[in-house]
Amino acid sequence: EIDTRGLNCPLPILKAKKALSEMVSGQVLKVVSTDAGSIRDFQAFAKQTGNTLLDQQTQGAEHSHVMRRR
Residues ≥6 apart with Cβ < 8 Å to 56: 39, 42, 43, 63, 64, 65, 66
Known catalytic residues are 9
